[in-house]
Chains A and B, each alone.
Chain A
């Protein structure tokens, strides 16, 4: 490893250094605003270094990491998301009595884990990145530790995440015992029908399926979404899933998974179940965070359709859809975050009745986020869904596409219900809500992106085409 190899790793190093600085500053002086600014600065600097350090050619850095445009694209997406979540958290934590500062260090560490995941090319970095992300998330979920449902959510997440991580590790060990290498680059799905190998792949799928909350590994999702503080829920919904999906796509492309029909059929079944169950269960929810949890299950199911398509177009579709999904999710959870504080979260759908009367702008932002989740114009969600369908069509996955369409139609029903609630006359007169200027500005920015990409997606299309070249 030469010193120039460190340059593509700059985003990772920046986050790590800022996390250490953050901890050291807390040891001397506690200051909420300074901790927030330091973390925001860390994310911004890492983002800048991701542009600066972007390699022209894919570059292997030690056996553990690979730096290419694919990794840079997802790194930038994760860092921007991290920055927005940091800014949104500030108001949310403001009334927190003490010890607000460590929260921001944990955000940096979660971002660090996610960056390691998208750059990893080896089982060791995969495992370490995943655990850095998970361990930060357990703590973030239980951060307001004096509320018992947070503790419950954290315990549920910890037990299930660790159990599935153990499954995944055992799967890695089995794959290693057959293949004799831990590096993705040297692995390939063996045409031999080895039972041990197939068992290994199956166990690995459990771990990945859990992180992506795919049916049948989705049981934690609604509980953790509801129990976690709203900005942390946004982090789980975006960064954690995006990083793992990016890694999964790279990994399974590298090992030529599309030649193995057994595995392919297993993933197809998972995709179909996720699309249907997610949307069907969301119909019966009264809690906005639980609705979004079930909706995320089906959205990851949609993404699986593009994952299963073997064409060169599929990674583009995934990348575009993730950008749209990240923006939409941040919009939706951003509104929830601004309306909540850690003491009292506004999560019951009934509380949103007549939000339009109380705060028109927030209601419109949440409404447009719902349109985007439903895949309706004029939002980026629609373009993303067309992309996914295009990836499926180009590979002739008709059965999966039919399920996608049916599931989307079911989905429209409950998204429209949220819209209906938002614009209804309120049950009783309530005062207008006061929302910080700063938070509104962030949401307005997200809204402009969401609608802008829906009306004029060409620049992002170009970007994702560039980003995934070289992957297939």
Chain B
């Protein structure tokens, strides 16, 4: 069995990562944003496994386990926030939540009362 070259594996992981990133930028539904984050995390995990394989070490796979654990805890908080978002705004579109920003009024004249 011939081994898969490192660059091929890294290109695959890079492609997955870019897919996740595009999803993150394009999607406005918070579920899809969380999914895209998950894809990015897993792409990084795949890169770790491939790199570990090419060095004949288990470190890459251990890192992947850590990544899985962290991603799970992160997504549980993310889903709790989705519930709260829906509770307050009755939508899962993240663009609706934009109360906090530099408002144009603020820019007008901060120096007068």
Q: Which residue of A lies closest to B54 (CB)?
A: A177
Q: Does B47 contact A166, Cβ atoms closer than 8 Å?
A: no
Chain A residues whose CB sits within 8 angstroms of the CB of B57 once the complex forms: 180
Q: Which residue of B lies closest to A291 (CB)?
A: B110
Number of interface residues of B (CB under 8 A): 52
Jot down 30 A-B pairs with beta carbons below 8 A, ordered by A: A127-B70, A128-B66, A131-B74, A134-B74, A138-B77, A149-B99, A151-B97, A152-B100, A154-B81, A156-B97, A158-B78, A162-B74, A163-B21, A166-B40, A166-B44, A167-B40, A169-B45, A170-B13, A170-B40, A173-B48, A173-B51, A176-B60, A177-B47, A180-B57, A182-B59, A196-B10, A222-B100, A281-B102, A286-B106, A353-B113
Chain A residues whose CB sits within 8 angstroms of the CB of B47 once the complex forms: 170, 173-174, 177
Looking at the complex, which one of A131, A226, A350 makes contact with B70 (CB distance below 8 Å)? A131
In the complex, besides A135-B74, A153-B100, A159-B37, 17 extra interface pairs with C-beta distance below 8 angstroms are A127-B70, A138-B74, A151-B81, A151-B97, A159-B94, A162-B78, A163-B40, A166-B17, A166-B43, A170-B43, A172-B63, A174-B51, A176-B48, A176-B63, A180-B55, A284-B102, A290-B102
In whole Å, how far is A222's beta carbon from the nearest beta carbon of chain B? 7
Give residues 74-113 of B contacting A (CB, 8 Å).
74, 77-78, 81, 84-85, 88-89, 94, 97-102, 106-107, 110-111, 113
Q: How far is the CA of A172 from the CA of B47 in the complex (A)?
A: 9
Which A positions have Cβ atoms within 8 angstroms of B?
Answer: 123-124, 127-128, 131, 134-135, 138-139, 142, 145, 148-149, 151-156, 158-159, 162-163, 165-167, 169-170, 172-174, 176-177, 180-182, 196, 222-223, 226-227, 281, 283-287, 290, 349-350, 353, 417, 427
Looking at the complex, which one of B51, B70, B77, B94 makes contact with A177 (CB distance below 8 Å)? B51
Chain A residues whose CB sits within 8 angstroms of the CB of B14 once the complex forms: 170
Q: How far is the CA of A223 from the CA of B73 in the complex (A)?
A: 24
In whole Å, how far is A387's beta carbon from the nearest beta carbon of chain B? 32
In whole Å, how far is B24's beta carbon from the nearest beta carbon of chain A? 6
Looking at the complex, which one of B17, B37, B41, B51 makes contact with A176 (CB distance below 8 Å)? B51
Q: Does A174 contact B10, Cβ atoms closer than 8 Å?
A: yes
Q: A123-B63, A170-B43, A174-B10 are in contact. Are A155 and B100 (CB under 8 A)?
A: no
Chain B residues whose CB sits within 8 angstroms of the CB of A222 once the complex forms: 100, 102
Q: Which residue of A lies closest to B111 (CB)?
A: A417
Interface of B is mostly: helix
Chain A residues whose CB sits within 8 angstroms of the CB of B13 once the complex forms: 170, 173
Most buried by B among A127, A152, A349: A152
Give residues 24-71 of B contacting A (CB, 8 Å).
24, 30, 33, 37, 40-41, 43-45, 47-48, 50-52, 54-55, 57, 59-60, 62-63, 66-67, 70
Q: Which residue of A lies closest to B40 (CB)?
A: A166
B6 at the interface (CB under 8 A from A): yes
In whole Å, how far is B41's beta carbon from the nearest beta carbon of chain A? 5
Q: A148-B89, A180-B55 are in contact. Are A163 and B81 (CB under 8 A)?
A: no
Chain A residues whose CB sits within 8 angstroms of the CB of B89 once the complex forms: 148
Q: Does A284 contact B110, Cβ atoms closer than 8 Å?
A: yes
Q: Does A177 contact B10, Cβ atoms closer than 8 Å?
A: yes
Q: Does A152 contact B99, Cβ atoms closer than 8 Å?
A: yes
Q: How far is the CA of A173 from the CA of B84 in the complex (A)?
A: 34
Chain A residues whose CB sits within 8 angstroms of the CB of B77 once the complex forms: 135, 138-139, 158
Q: How far is the CA of A222 from the CA of B107 in the complex (A)?
A: 14
Q: Does B81 contact A142, Cβ atoms closer than 8 Å?
A: yes
Chain B residues whose CB sits within 8 angstroms of the CB of A287 once the complex forms: 106
In whole Å, how far is B14's beta carbon from the nearest beta carbon of chain A? 8
Most buried by B among A159, A167, A222, A285: A159
Q: Which residue of B lies closest to A183 (CB)?
A: B59
Q: Does A138 contact B88, Cβ atoms closer than 8 Å?
A: no
Q: How far is the CA of A227 from the CA of B57 in the complex (A)?
A: 44
Q: Does A148 contact B97, Cβ atoms closer than 8 Å?
A: yes
In whole Å, how far is A423's beta carbon from the nearest beta carbon of chain B? 15
Chain A residues whose CB sits within 8 angstroms of the CB of B20 once the complex forms: 166
Q: Which residue of B lies closest to A135 (CB)?
A: B73
Q: Does A285 contact B110, Cβ atoms closer than 8 Å?
A: yes
Q: How far is the CA of A155 from the CA of B94 in the complex (A)?
A: 8
